[in-house]
A and B are shown apart, each in its own frame.
Chain A
Amino acid sequence: MIKNADQIFVLLQHWVMSFFPHALQSLVGVLLSVVSIICVFPALFAISVLLERKGLGRMQNRLGPNRVGPLGILQPVADGLKSLTKEDIVPTSADAVVHFLAPVFLVVIVFMGYAVLPMGRNMTLVNLDAGLLFFFAMGASTELSVFMAGWSSRNKYSLLGAMRAVAQMISYEIPMLLASLVVVMMTGSMNLGRIVDVQNQYTWGLPHWYIFTPWGFAAFLLYATATTAESNRSPFDLPEGESELVAGYFTEYSGFKFALFFLGEYVGMLSVSGLGATLFLGGWSAPLAILNWVPSWIWFFGKVMLSICVFIWLRGTLPRLRQDQLMNFAWKFVLPLSLLNLIVAGLWRFMGEGLTRWVVCSAILLVAYVVMARVGMRKERFGPRSYRYAE
């Protein structure tokens, strides 16, 4: 019974497949997986948008959406219908083909990343040998669509937003890759299924997740910072800073194309959360050995939604960075720290079992963190805030 609950989607897929002739079975299986990914993640997108609007409302002492349905829970449906029925405006001077292709390209690319994520025991669409590389290759391609959107709109705000977004995404892609590389070093494989399997072991009922090691913890924090910037979320939301750039690279998009960008952003956020959970939080494995009876997919999606809540919390809490702060933070703090983390991971590997490696590795990372933060902040002076125009 418990085993069936764990494998319910796999069994369901095999049951549907059994209705088809043998030659078609593998094709039908793949199609089923693809369709379920394309259905499940937009549904999660709707839930997280509602969660975000409600949560932000709560943090800002207001109600948030409360008109459509009980407690406003049908708001995503209303939003979806609205964006479908709105007029689709393309500016006259815009480059129509590129303008049309940009959102389509973005959504396709973002969904491709899910192909390699293990969403539960035996629930990976394609078990690639170089799965992590595939995920990052897809993630890197989204930059091009952002650029296409910004450039083809022929709008200065769009272009500025796109340039900001691309510069930011390139800068933070490097620390993201380096932070994930630590996991590859320790696992010895780029296969995401293998990475989860290695973490799915228990000592005294506690899991071997990578976040519970000094280098893993540091890498997780670096990865979280870099992916927040990658998905253009607050406090790194300069590309769409509404007080400066209207809406950044998708200023000139309306109707369903705007909704596609919105979808792309959230689905991208869900996918990087899924990858973060896979790399550092043990993917679909349970947090305690005694909780192993809970179906694996519940853990995966639970971890993803928890990360989404942290994203929302950060958005409600932190102020937006300035462009130079953003770049300095990426190149002078996150990048050196992730390089150091690689060395620490190597040290951890060769120091053998025991308490010494815990002390030494944690001390190196902590000292580096404190020293680099101090040195970086040395020139900053925090006086009373001065207003140039408002006084």
Chain B
Amino acid sequence: MTIVFYLIAAITIAGALAAMLLKSTVHCALALTIAFAGLAVQFLELDAQFAGFAQILVYIGAVAILVVFAILLTRGSEAPKGGVFSKSWPAGLAIAAMVFAVLGWAVLSSTSVLPNETAKPTVSVLEIGNALMGRYVLPLEIIAVLLTSALIGAVIVAKHEKGSAK
């Protein structure tokens, strides 16, 4: 935990805060990208090359673009007139705090489950590949089936709209 960690953490949190507080939705999406990038650099800082690059490829290259497309194709990028805050924000705050508490508790208690993980593990991409194709092949396949069905579902939804419009 060096100064680099705190710098990256500050940038990530600033990006996430900006994503919540900025007025224009496209600006929010771009700020969210900064948070994604910060997280990716954090992974790299921890020597997790694969996770870091996959984070950039998937989140910046695809998810951010998808978010931006969704914003532009739906309501337009102008800020709504009645303010961006929903009326039920206290409830949202409470739920967010609870989720954060559960996650934090899980992370903090994980050290007692794995007490021997003191040394920094070196994980090469080859090992990740072997693990995915060996021990974790079933979860991988299940996720693949899930994603394929989602893809087919998306195609069907898009096709249906086109058919009814004609």
Contact = CB atoms under 8 A, between A and B. Distances in A.
A130 B49 contact: yes
B125 A140 contact: no
Contact of A173 (B27, B30, B50, B61): B61
Interface in B1-60: 26-27, 30, 33, 49-50, 53-54, 56-57, 60
A151 B26 contact: yes
Given A137-B56, A141-B61, A144-B33, A130 B50 contact: yes
B53 A130 contact: yes
A128 interface: yes
Given A144-B64, A147-B65, A133 B57 contact: yes
B77 A151 contact: yes
Contacts of A143: 61, 65
Closest 9 A/B residue pairs (Cβ)? A140-B61, A137-B56, A133-B53, A137-B57, A137-B53, A130-B49, A130-B125, A141-B60, A140-B57
Interface in B55-106: 56-57, 60-62, 64-65, 68-69, 72, 77
Nearest to A191: B125
Could you tell me the dominant secondary structure of chain B's interface residues? helix
A159 to B, nearest CB: 8
A166 B29 CA distance: 16
B102 to A, nearest CB: 31
A163 interface: yes
Q: Contact size class for A?
A: 20 to 34
A139 B53 CA distance: 11
Nearest to A173: B61
Interface of B: 26-27, 30, 33, 49-50, 53-54, 56-57, 60-62, 64-65, 68-69, 72, 77, 124-126
Interface of A: 98, 128-130, 133-134, 136-141, 143-144, 147-148, 151, 159, 163, 166, 170, 173, 188-190
A188 B26 contact: no
B125 A190 contact: yes
Contacts of B33: 144
B30 A98 contact: yes
Contacts of A128: 49
A376 B65 CA distance: 29
Instruction: Give the most central of B53, B62, B124: most A CB within 10 Å.
Output: B53
Counting chain B CB atoms within 10 Å of each CB, the highest count among A136, A140, A148 belongs to A140
Contact of A133 (B30, B64, B69, B125): B125
Given A129-B125, A190-B125, A148 B30 contact: yes
Contact of A129 (B49, B54, B56): B49
A151 B57 contact: no
Contacts of B72: 151, 159, 163
Contacts of B50: 130, 133
Contacts of A189: 125-126
A137 B61 contact: yes
B71 to A, nearest CB: 10
B84 to A, nearest CB: 17
Contacts of B26: 151
Contacts of A138: 56
Nearest to A140: B61
B141 to A, nearest CB: 16
Nearest to B123: A129
16 contacts: A129-B124, A130-B50, A133-B53, A133-B57, A134-B49, A137-B54, A137-B60, A140-B61, A141-B61, A144-B33, A144-B61, A151-B26, A151-B68, A151-B77, A163-B69, A189-B125
Contacts of A139: 61
Contact of A134 (B27, B53, B68): B53
Contacts of A147: 65, 68
Contacts of A98: 27, 30
A188 B126 CA distance: 8
Contacts of B69: 163, 166
Nearest to A143: B65
B108 to A, nearest CB: 30
Contacts of A166: 65, 69
B68 to A, nearest CB: 6
Contacts of B62: 140, 170
